[in-house]
A and B are shown apart, each in its own frame.
Chain A
Amino acid sequence: MIQSMDDERRIFSELVENYQKKVFQVAVGMLGNKDEALDITQDVFVKAFRSYKKFRFNASPETWLIRITINRVRDYFRKEKLRRLLFLRPENISDNQINTMADSDQSPQEILKEKQLHAHVRAFQDGLKGREREVFSLRFGNEYTIKEISELTGISQSSVKTYLYRALDKAQDYLADWKAT
């Protein structure tokens, strides 16, 4: 039972500490954009704080937060789609794409190869459609099981598998094209 405002804020601070990285990873996996993912992470916790008293801990805090994240990302895509439709924003947002750390032990060739691979991964990710991208990111970016993804997204397990198979088909095509070039 939360006793006071200070207690509430302390517990919430721990919640942020424990789950901010996870929330960010889910967001960045679905968005492919670091800055937007950070904004959404912040929004998710503000939203969580608002409904914190209503949260009865029937689900784990992680499930609760990831559900908020998924809904928030869906809202973001809806708004983004509308903006693009109205030509208010360019589609290419690759300038803000996520950057990975280069391993200093790698040779220049290896670094280049890895950079190329990551560039292809990003391009592949951009090519995935809404739900495909969502379940692909949850399964392969965040290692949730099919059952967990179904619970988090509200999509049936068979549909989750269908989306994943379709996304893997695209990955396979993408790899074939890449190899050919």
Chain B
Amino acid sequence: MNNIHLSNKEIYSMIVEPDSIDENLQLHLKKCPDCQKRFNRIKGFLKAYQEEIEHTEINWTREKGKILSAVSDYHAPALRLRWGTAVILSFIIVISAFLLQQVYFQPNNGSKIEETELQKEIWFFPDSISEVELPQSIVLLTEWEGEDFQQFLNFFLPIEEEHNEKNNSITNSLRINRFDQSIFA
């Protein structure tokens, strides 16, 4: 407080915290009409501001109805979570079943699968022939060229090595598994 009037900050402090007004400030305010005028002008403005907020015309019953209606449309997270989990699990089961069917049941249901050229040619050997003479087979299959031939070698070289290890064993039993492309001798 200066000698003449209250500062703005002092007036503000009396407005912002009316419960903790300094006694000296209060005394000055009572005595000084100019400060009272400044104080009351701000107070009047704030009163108008408060009225602006408080006296808004609202149909509260209708608004309550709207709120409760919005709330009743809302489904609990637990319920939503359960439904979501059920949908995801169903999706996973369907996809898994489809993939399993592709892998394990394809030959039995008669549908065709994609085969490489090599697989097609190997499959020319009738199923009934379970034993073939290895050298002869190799001669027949060497007609292939390029990648197929390389693939062929990759299949048969281990067998040939095994064959050599067995020393002078002329024939080997060959079983070709067309699905995992492995050959057991």
Contacts and interface: CB of A to CB of B under 8 A. Distances in A.
Are A and B associated in one complex?
A: yes
Interface of A: 9, 12-13, 16-17, 20-21, 24-25, 28-29, 34, 38, 41-42, 45-46, 49-50, 98-101, 114, 117-118, 121-122, 124-125, 137, 139-143, 146, 161, 164-165, 168-169, 171-172, 174-175
9 contacts: A16-B68, A17-B64, A25-B54, A29-B53, A121-B48, A122-B52, A168-B8, A168-B15, A168-B16
A140 B50 contact: yes
A171 B45 contact: yes
Given A13-B68, A50-B77, A168 B42 contact: yes
B120 interface: no
Q: Is the interface of B mostly helix, strand, loop or mixed?
A: helix
Nearest to A98: B56
B16 A146 contact: yes
Q: Is the interface of A mostly helix, strand, loop or mixed?
A: helix
Contacts of B56: 24, 28, 34, 98-100
B117 interface: no
B124 interface: no
A14 to B, nearest CB: 10
A171 B45 CA distance: 8
Contact of B49 (A34, A45, A49, A121): A121
Interface in B5-59: 8-9, 12, 15-17, 41-42, 45-46, 48-58
Given A117-B45, A122-B52, 6 more contacts: A13-B68, A20-B60, A41-B67, A42-B63, A50-B77, A146-B17
Nearest to B72: A9
Contacts of B68: 9, 12-13, 16
A169 B64 contact: no
Interface of B: 8-9, 12, 15-17, 41-42, 45-46, 48-58, 60, 63-64, 66-68, 70-72, 74, 77
Q: From B16, B51, B54, B64, name the one whose CB has the most chain A CB atoms within 10 angstroms.
A: B16
The 8 closest A-B CB pairs, nearest first, are: A141-B53, A45-B67, A49-B71, A100-B55, A168-B12, A140-B46, A29-B53, A98-B56
Contacts of B41: 175
Nearest to A164: B16
A41 B63 contact: yes
B53 A46 contact: no
A118 B63 contact: no
A98 B17 CA distance: 28
Given A21-B60, A161-B16, A100 B52 contact: yes
B16 A142 contact: no
Nearest to A13: B68
Nearest to A5: B76
B52 A42 contact: no
B152 to A, nearest CB: 64
A110 to B, nearest CB: 13
Contacts of A174: 45
Contact of A42 (B9, B16, B67): B67
